[in-house]
Amino acid sequence: MSGNETKGAVRFENVVKKFGDVVALKSLSLDIVPGELVTLLGPSGCGKTTTLRLIAGLEAVTEGLISIGGKDVTHLTATYRNVSMVFQSYALFPHMSVRENVAYGLTVSATPKKEAFDKAEEGLAMVGLEGFGDRLPSELSGGQQQRVAVARAVVLEPEVLLLDEPLSNLDAKLCRRVREEIRQIQQSLNLTAVYVTHDQEEAMAVSDRIIVMKNAEIAQMGTPADLYNEPNSEFIADFIGDANLVKCDVGSITSGIASIEVGGVKLKVPTTRNVPFNASLVIRPQNASLTAPGKKPGIRGNVTYAAFLGNQIQYTLDTDIGKMFVVDNTMDKTFPVGSDIHLLLNEKKLALVPA
């Protein structure tokens, strides 16, 4: 526990990873700040797990530099890096008791057994598993095993805690609880954590920052709110939350407001650009509302499917600008299948991305 400011910082400089001819990472550069929880998010095969394993030292870089805590660790293997990892399968050693599992990292680094077991007991207490030390992993439930895996990784007081899809084997309700616990432990110990998942909701729920990856490179990074409100591409807009994407013409841009026209309706949409460009309009399902035709100028459409979910109604529409998915949370009025409607858009909540 030194007062070193760079402790826990992770830095990638132009890291390339190839498996034979397959490029798993194209020149990746990134900085992770001490104490933050960063999520690597993306569809399968995007390189997020590879990135995590490179931090762990389980894979060797093909090119580039990796440093942890300001120290170049590019050529160190996992054994010699001060990081620990929670595996998707938990990877608990089946022949050791829970206590032996948690103490393993300490005993292999020559900590006296007594001290290691005491620390293991503290670790188990932290994840709420006091008194389970004598059991075998196979005698625990999935959620308990998961917590043992977290305890085992955390008792080493690593510079960086790595989590590889830690919740993918838990059911939805347990998943929400465990991710809160992980977040609390990470914040209370002020650990740097890197979290891999393909579930965008999970990513938004736990992260300080999300790095979305696609095709072996970073697509966008930022806070969950940044990514949701200001996506930089159709891919991000679609991947983070639901979105309807509509090609549109940008007329002019003045002081951060673009004038556009879709389906015969003129709109003013915020943008960070200042030169007109080939754009797609991002319409989140809750940012559009349905009215009966005639009252206000809207986009004409027809309801093809309506699903009543209790707290909301989901509509699928055929409109002048194509197929649309809209969610009505107000539930003031329901439109049955077949009704003609007008679609109204909430200008301030729309975003433009390059088409």
Partner 1 sequence: MKKTATLWQIIALIGALFLPWYGVNGGFWSFGWVSGIFSDPKTASAVAQGLLHDRWWLITALIPLAGTGLSLLFIKDHKLLAKLLVVISIAGLVMIIAQGFIIARTAPRIFLDLFVGGPGETGQTGMGAGAFVVLFSQLFVLTTGYSGMGKGRGDAFIVGMIGLIVSLVAVFVFFPVSHILVQAFQGGDGSPSLAEFWSRLSSDRIWTLRCLVGNGSCGPAWNSLMLAIMTGAGTTLLGLAFALIATRTGFRAKRVLRVLTIVPIITPPFVIGLALILLFGRSGTVTELLNTYFDVPKTRWLYGFWGVYLAQLLSFTPIAFLVLIGVVEGVSPSMEEASQTLNADRWQTFRWISFPLMRPGLANAFLLGFIESIADFGNPLVLGGNFSVLSTEIYFSIVGAVANSGRAATLAIILLSMTLSAFLIQRWWVGKKSYATVTGKADSGQHTPLNPALRNLCYATALPWAAFTVVVYSMIIFGSFVKLWGYDHSFTLDHYLRAFSVSFSDGIRWTGVAWDSYFTTLTISSIAAPFTALVGLATAYLLVRQKFVGKEAFEFSTMLSFAIPGTVIGISYILAFNVPPIELTGTSIILILVFVFRNMPVGVRGGIAAMSQLDKSLDEASNTLGANSFTTVRRVIIPLMGPAILAALTYSFVRAITSVSAVIFLVSARHNMATSFIVGRVENGEFGIAIAYSAVLIVTMLIVILGLQLIIGKRRLRREDRLQVLSKTPVVAR
State the residues that interact with partner 1 by CB under 8 A: 56-58, 60, 75-81, 83-85, 87-89, 91-95, 104-105, 108-109, 128-132, 134-136, 139, 152-153, 156, 162
Supply the minimum distance, in Å, between the C-beta of residue 125 and partner 1.
10
Supply the minimum distance, in Å, between the C-beta of residue 124 and partner 1.
10
Supply the minimum distance, in Å, between the C-beta of residue 98 and partner 1.
11
H helices, E strands: number in the chain: 8, 20
Supply the minimum distance, in Å, between the C-beta of residue 7 and partner 1.
17
The answer to whether 57 and 73 have CB atoms below 8 angstroms apart is yes
Which residue number, 134 or 261, has a Cβ lying nearer to partner 1? 134
Beta carbons within 8 Å of 176's beta carbon, 6+ residues apart: 205
Q: Residue 88: left (phi > 0), alpha (psi -120 to 50), or beta? A: alpha
Supply the minimum distance, in Å, between the C-beta of residue 38 and partner 1.
18
Supply the minimum distance, in Å, between the C-beta of residue 78 and partner 1.
4
Q: How far is CA 84 from the centre of its chain?
A: 20
Which residue number, 93 or 308, has a Cβ lying nearer to partner 1? 93
Burial grade of 316 (CB within 10 A; 0-12, 13-18, 19 or more)? middle
Helix H or strand E segment including 87: none
Supply the minimum distance, in Å, between the C-beta of residue 235 and partner 1.
30
Which residue number, 86 or 265, has a Cβ lying nearer to partner 1? 86
Q: What is the token pair recorded at 315?
A: 């509509």
Which residue number, 60 or 337, has a Cβ lying nearer to partner 1? 60
Burial grade of 78 (CB within 10 A; 0-12, 13-18, 19 or more)? middle
Q: How far apart are alpha carbons 35 and 17 in whole angstroms?
A: 26
Q: What is the token pair recorded at 198?
A: 């393909």
Which residue number, 153 or 246, has a Cβ lying nearer to partner 1? 153
Adjacent-strand bridge partners of 324: 317
Which residue number, 16 or 76, has a Cβ lying nearer to partner 1? 76
Which residue number, 154 or 253, has a Cβ lying nearer to partner 1? 154
CA dihedral (274, 204, 48, 80) in degrees, to 10, reads 120
